[in-house]
Chain A
Amino acid sequence: MNTDTSLVTRSHEENWLPILELAVEEVFEIMVGCRVKVAAPSEHKPNEEFTAMVGLAGALCGILTVCCDAKTAGEAAKRMLGDTADSQEQVADALGEICNMIAGNFKNKLAGTDGQCMLSVPTVISGGEYSFHSLAEGTSVETVMLFEGAPIAVRLQLES
């Protein structure tokens, strides 16, 4: 059994945040066709009507979530698909894929995770009336990005 946790223990929120933000920027620029800008989380809190999540296991153990309001999720889906994104199912699918690509892009940018970190398939919750409890109570990295002026929150919660 590999018990090396040095990757996690030597990593800190302050040096993972820019990597996470770069991963988000690249996914939106390449796959959604739109640049996103970093915003102050204290000033922009999204209405969390859609929450996409992808689990990480192995060298990194935790969960990555992407939250935004329904209008923003719909706009991102339309940008990805053209004007054919007309159902809530497609909107959820698109947001799940965005979350999946951010998680993959983030871990691919981290040195030392090669082959040691696995991703789950994405899950998407629609509706904001829920409580989120992760067993991965350790390092937490969060950023809010503005997409067409609307906030999208991206959170990475990792087991310590």
Chain B
Amino acid sequence: MDKITVLIVDDSSVMRKIVERSLRQAGIELEKVVEASNGAEALVALQSNVVDLILCDINMPVMDGLEFVRQAATVESAKGIPIVMITTEGSESHVVQALTAGARGYIRKPFTPDQVKEHVLPVLGKKQ
């Protein structure tokens, strides 16, 4: 698999590191990791980085993950980049909102590296 650049959006720096580690443990090779602590920062990051994958929390200050997904859908440079939500919000209504807004996958916290692999590889067009 080619190395990828990933944007990890979470207000917790600890969780951003855990998500990065989980991607590596899932066998996904990372060229570059771009971090943002909320949706607004993520939109700014997308202006100066070409990314292959976005992993995004929902509950964040300033701009939450659902609003980020909605706004990213209108940004030319973000179109076509798969977004996978990774969040404690596990209700069906949150899943539906996220997928309707344009997210391609949904991982509930707590999560294992295997679950990350299961949800991320298909959106990257890779077989498990």
**CA of A121 to CA of B15, assembled, Å:** 13
Q: Check A69 for interface membership: any CB of B closer than 8 A.
A: no
Of the A-B pairs whose beta carbons lie under 8 Å apart in the complex, a sample of 6, sorted by A's number, is A104-B90, A105-B109, A108-B108, A114-B92, A119-B89, A120-B59
Interface size class for chain A? 20 to 34
Q: Are B11 and A113 in contact (CB under 8 A)?
A: no
Interface size class for chain B? 20 to 34
- Contacts A27-B110, A31-B110 given: A114-B91 contact, CB under 8 Å? yes
**CA of A101 to CA of B84, assembled, Å:** 18
Interface centre among A81, A85, A117, by most chain B C-beta atoms within 10 angstroms, is A81
Known contacts A80-B14, A82-B21; 10 further A-B pairs (Cβ under 8 A): A30-B112, A31-B111, A84-B17, A97-B14, A100-B109, A104-B108, A104-B109, A115-B94, A119-B88, A119-B89
- Contacts A97-B15, A115-B91 given: A121-B110 contact, CB under 8 Å? no
- Contacts A31-B18, A90-B13, A97-B12 given: A114-B93 contact, CB under 8 Å? yes
Q: Are B14 and A77 in contact (CB under 8 A)?
A: yes
- Contact code string B76-104 (vs A, CB < 8 Å = 1, else 0): 00000000000111111110000000000
